[in-house]
Amino acid sequence: MSLTRRKPLAELMPEEGDHGLKRALTASNLVLLGIGAIIGAGIFVLTGTAAALYAGPAIVFSFILAGLGCLFAGLCYAEFASMIPVAGSAYTYGYATLGEFIAWIIGWDLILEYLFAASTVAVGWSGYFTAFMAELGIKLPPALTGAPYAVQGTHTLVPSQICVDPASGAVAVNEVTRTAIPIADCVSGGFTIVQGFLNVPAMVLILLITALLVVGIKESARFNNIVVYVKVAIVLLVIAFGIKYVNTDNWHPFIPPADGPGHFGWSGILRGAGVIFFAYIGFDAVSTAAQEAKNPQKDLPIGILGSLAVCTVLYIAMALVMTGMAHYTELNVPHPVFVAIDKAGPALKWLGFLVNIGAIAGLASVVLVMLMGQPRIFYSMSRDGLLPPVFSSIHPKFRTPWVSTVITGIVAALIAGIFPIGLLGELVSIGTLLAFVIVCGGIIVLRKTQPDLPRPFRTPLVPLVPILGIAICGYMMYGLPPDTWIRLFVWMALGMLIYFLYGIRHSKLNKA
């Protein structure tokens, strides 16, 4: 039972016909799928938080640093995806190059990425949705829109306490904002304290999207396409109209002086890059749909690199406009884009309503892509024998991995209902960065061990590009808080326990 046994590329080729996944996605579907996953929490939530807490206006440099890491990793992903056009993403690539044990580590890491990402974004969506409903005069009970726990700093889980105006239902502070307001101030301000019980809107969103994904990939892609057009149009409107109201004084100093490790200065830019890296995770979800692409060898590189290029440009432009319209210290809120627009006064009031709609639609499409990616990882691992056969069960009518989709949706809904966004976001970032490091290393290994394999897309400048990808992603991992590393090690230890108790005994390669 060799831990380093690799799966031959010939055996990785997907099943076709009635028993395989349905090929229904074009290159444009894949590009929009990537944009649907990338444009969301990064623009509508994390940009403001990272600017206010870590990098100031220099959050632009954080986006460039994170974008470079994604570019190098994306070039490596594109080569793998064109060679091995099957569901499973980096897990499958690792199985072909680095061996079964490393493949399991990647697969377990991807569960951390996709499952927790769906839950994280659903919590952010709940914040925008609750505020939007309040504007329409519908006050949702605060106890049912907040998790029972909040993050104190980045280390301790404490019972969440939501301060609510009994008359209007307005929320002064909740676990989404993570703003430290003393309870005494909350009470003296005329608010009452409500204990968060469950984030019901986040749970409902995940369950509805899970049902859509069970019905079919084509229907899910069609829904995603519509949402992407809406939110990209709104982002472009904010950039086009907001640039007229930029106050360049807000950009000085562009890199605020350092005030402790990871707080402004260049260390703050690094910490900001690690945090907003969460905003880029969507492009690798494109590769999980490889087995449902009509022409994967050609279309997957287009989908991965095309979506990454479009979103990086939009992120940088949006960050400049937001920090130019509002001072970066005012952006540590759940809805930073709305705060920036509000600075323009009545002239852009009409745009604020559209931003709320764009955020609600945009974050929903991110949840869709994350929930689409995770079951396909389960599907591939189950087909290899590393997980029970039920995870690779295909629906006879819809031809989707319906059992793993339902399990993923239920678990993600529970996580979103119980845990706060601060804890979930850090776990997703470090898990994604680790996956990227391993994929970049896999390209170097495969070029050495199997240089003559057909490669419809070739990563340029190997080994320079993979090494740069490893260096930048590793550097951003280094910038994350120590407790995030501890949680990663605990998660990986649990994964190794499952592998040695079940996976290694049922692996189809080890039985061969």
DSSP assignment of 105-134 equals: HHHHHHHHHHHHHHHHHHHHHHHHHHHHHH
- Each residue's pLDDT tens digit, 143-175: 787 777 665 554 455 556 666 655 555 555 443
**Phi, psi for 82 (deg, rounded to 5):** -75, -30
Helices 90-97 + 59-83 axis angle, to 10:
60
Structural domain contains residue 187: no
Classified as helix, coil or strand, 344 is coil
Residue type, 207: L
Q: What three-state secondary structure class fits 186? A: helix
- CATH number of the domain enclosing 118: 1.20.1740.10
For the chain, give the mean pLDDT. Answer: 79
pTM of the model: 0.75
- Residue 48's pLDDT band, with cuts at 50, 70 and 90, is confident
Does 90 score more than 80 pLDDT? no
Is the model more confident about 338 or about 405?
405
Q: Quote the number of domains for the chain.
A: 1
Give every strand in the sheet of 192-195, ordered side by side: 171-173, 161-164, 192-195
pLDDT value at 18 more than 50 = no
> What percent of the chain is predicted at pLDDT more than 90?
16
Assigned domain for 193 exists: no
CA-to-CA dists, residue 436 to 75, 90, 124, 283, 353, angstroms: 11, 8, 25, 11, 37
pLDDT at 421: 64
Phi first, then psi: what are they for 395, rounded to 5°?
-65, 130
Residue 156 lies in a domain: no
**How large is the average pLDDT for residues 26-46?**
77
Confidence label for 293 from pLDDT (cuts 50, 70 and 90)? confident
Q: 203 lies in a domain?
A: no
Residue 157 lies in a domain: no
Domain that holds residue 377: 9-137+231-511
- In this prediction, residues 457-464 reach a mean pLDDT of 91
**Average of per-residue pLDDT across 31-49:** 76
Most confident option among 277-286, 326-335, 347-356, 464-473: 464-473
Q: Do residues 380 and 87 touch, judged by C-beta distance below 8 A?
A: yes
What integer pLDDT is reported at residue 17 of this predicted model?
45
Residues counted in the chain: 512
Q: What is the pLDDT of residue 159?
A: 57
**Which amino acid would we find at residue 12?**
L
In the predicted structure, residue 76 carries a pLDDT above the cut 50 = yes
Convert the pLDDT of each residue in 435-447 to its tens digit. Answer: 888 889 989 988 9
Residue 69 predicted with pLDDT over 80 = yes
* Calculated CA dihedral for residues 177, 178, 182, 188, nearest 10 degrees: 20
| Confidence band for 237, pLDDT divided at 50, 70 and 90 | very high
Q: What is the pLDDT of residue 241?
A: 93
Residue 211 falls inside a structural domain = no
Whole-number Å distance between alpha carbons of 141 and 137: 13
